[in-house]
Structure 1
Amino acid sequence: MSLLYPRLLSGQARPLFEEYRKLTLVELADRVDTSHESAVYVATGGDRVAEDRLRELRKLIIDLAEEADFPNKPNRSAQTKFDLRLAAVLHTEAGLTPAEAASGDIWAFFALVLLPDIAFWRYPDPPRDRILATDLTRHVFGRMWWRAQLVHSPGDPDPYSALQILGEAAFDQIYARRAALGGSPYLVKAILRVWNAQDLSKLDGQARRDILRDFLKRLLRLAPFMEFESIDETALDTELCTAARESVAAILNSPDTGGRERHPSQSRLHIRRP
């Protein structure tokens, strides 16, 4: 039986966000709760999540934050480590189904009722979408659950190891195209598998971003003509490797990026199959 989480609708979430953005972390901790008088539940099958389970989930996330120096401001490395561990904990412990996790109102409840101190610690003075989940690719908690959902490989020794392949900005390029690419865990895992196999270490960060963007554009052009999920893993990897190889060649030879003069190591790059 799936768990149903409380939903904080936008009419209640927006004014709460405006109030909370002016509070300290200590004051936010005083507002923490496992329920809210305005919260609602979707009228579908499932059991309402118990408040004890919400308290346990909060404790797990608080422990992760404290390891990242909460309530002090974490450095970039600590933020990244916290995010990756948060993704795995949310995905394994929350008991959310994709249908529930697609609701921004649930993530607003997480950020404004259950974990407001953690939300505003992770993103001080945050824009609305980080808290209200108007864009799930940006929400402090929702984006990490979905990253975990898309890379989860239950048969692997570390089911969430693929979380470390791409940084947040790069992964968002995939998830932002979720209608065609980012909504399929099978395809996302193949993209990450193929991308991880490429030897692009000699390129600067901008070149890698340009190649990834071009790679995803090529997949978008293929999407209307190819049912990715119906292709077996080996054949899919072959198709993606071809697209990756074409993207590398296109970007490194593009006059807009300085071509070979910008990337003198081009001849030493290798496109490997995963």
Structure 2
Amino acid sequence: MTTLYPRLLDADAEPMFTQYKSALADGHGIEYLAEKASTTHLAAVYVATGGTRASHEHLQSLRDAVLALAHGTGFPGDSRNMAWFDTQLAQLLHQHSGMVPAEAAARDVWQFLALCLLPDVAFWRYPNPPGDRVLGTDLTRHVFGRLWWRAQLVHDPKSQDPYAGLQVMGEAAFDQIYARRAVLGGSPALVRGILEVWQELEKEGQLRGLTQRKVLQDYLKRLLRLFPFVDFDSLQENDRKLELWAVAEETVESCRGEFSKASASF
């Protein structure tokens, strides 16, 4: 059964965001936001579709789990390892939220989580955050929404470690994939295939000496050009990997050629 989350609309979310930023700027600590945390909000609404509304107990359990993870990373003081925290939080949110993609695609849901349920964690993770880190204007940057989607796209239920893909790329690199979600991000199997090929390229040393960001950008561009001609979702897993490998080899060869030309010019 789908779990439906409260949604905080822009008319209420934006003033709350401004209020919380101002309070912290005036010297209030994270404890102030902890006192504001709640599993309800008078203006919260639910989508009118089938599903079970998240109960107070469910929301409180999710908050408690996130807080326990945050405390293990230094909350409410300085974090000891935010990259580790993000990876663990992505898995936690995906496993315990009970969300389905339709809910997770709703920006108002993430506004509720960041401003009502977990404002202290949100503003601790991103002190003095720009709006898109807390409001739902861009889910690729939202403090919680980006992590749920990262876990969703790498999750492999057949694997002994279903979330192993979270360790393959950092946030900046994975965001390049998610930013192209209209095509690439619509297929978790394709995303997992890309991550698997990328991990093997790293293990084999094929990326050594190259700017990985540039290689990844080129790789994704080449894949996007193939989409009108290749239905990656319809391919068997092994055939899909062969196609992805072929594109990866072309990418590395091209990038090495450019690197050689640039080096020769000096």
Give yes or no for TM over 0.5.
Answer: yes
* Equivalent position of 1:269 in the other structure: none
* 1:33 lines up with 2:38 in the alignment: yes
CA RMSD of aligned residues (A): 1.7
How far does residue 258 in structure 1 lie from its aligned partner after superposition? 2.1
Q: Among residues 46, 61, 67, which one is paired with 1:56 in the alignment?
A: 61
Task: Find the aligned partners of 2:221 and 2:227 in 1 and give their Cα distance.
Answer: 10
* Aligned-residue offset at 1:170: 0.3
**Aligned residue number for residue 266 of structure 1:** none
Tell me the amino acid that sits aligned with residue 51 of structure 1: H
- Choose from 116, 121, 140 the match for 1:118: 121
Q: Is the 8 A contact 1:252 1:260 kept in 2?
A: no
Q: Which string of whole-angstrom CA distances, capped at 9 and with x for unpartnered residues, describes residues 107-140 of structure 1?
A: 0000000000000000001110100021111000
Secondary structure at the residue paired with 2:247?
Answer: helix
Tell me if structure 2 keeps the 8 A contact 1:150–1:184: yes
Task: Answer whether contact 2:111 2:135 (CA < 8 A) is retained.
Answer: yes
1:163-189: CA deviation from partner (whole Å, max 9, x where unpaired)? 000000000000000111112101101
After TM superposition, the structure 1 = structure 2 runs for residues 213-232 of structure 1, keeping only pairs within 5 Å, are 213-232=217-236
After superposing on structure 2, the runs of 4+ consecutive aligned residues of structure 1 that deviate more than 4 Å are: 259-262
Q: Does 1:151 align with 2:154?
A: yes
Unaligned runs of 5+ in 1: 263-274
TM-score, structure 1 as length reference: 0.91
Q: What is the rounded CA distance, in whole Å, between the counterparts of 1:211 and 1:140 in structure 2?
A: 27
Is 2:211 aligned against 1:203?
no
Partner of 1:6: 6
Shift of 1:72: 1.0
Instruction: Give, in angstroms, the shift of residue 200 of structure 1.
Output: 3.6
Provide the C-alpha distance between the structure 1 equivalents of 2:189 and 2:207, rounded to a whole number of angstroms. 29
Name 1:47's counterpart in structure 2. Answer: 52
- In structure 2, stretches of 5+ residues that fail to align are none
Partner residue, 2:86: 83
Deviation at 1:203, TM superposition (A): 2.5
**Structure 1 equivalent of residue 174 of structure 2:** 171
Q: Secondary structure at the match of 1:244?
A: helix
SS in 2 for 1:178: coil
Of 126, 130, 142, 1:139 maps to 142
Scaled by the length of structure 2, the TM-score of the pair is: 0.94
Whole-angstrom distance in 2 between the partners of 1:141 and 1:151: 16
Q: Distance in 2 between matches of 1:229 and 1:93?
A: 28
1:190: which partner in 2? 193
CA contact (8 A) 1:33 1:114 kept: yes
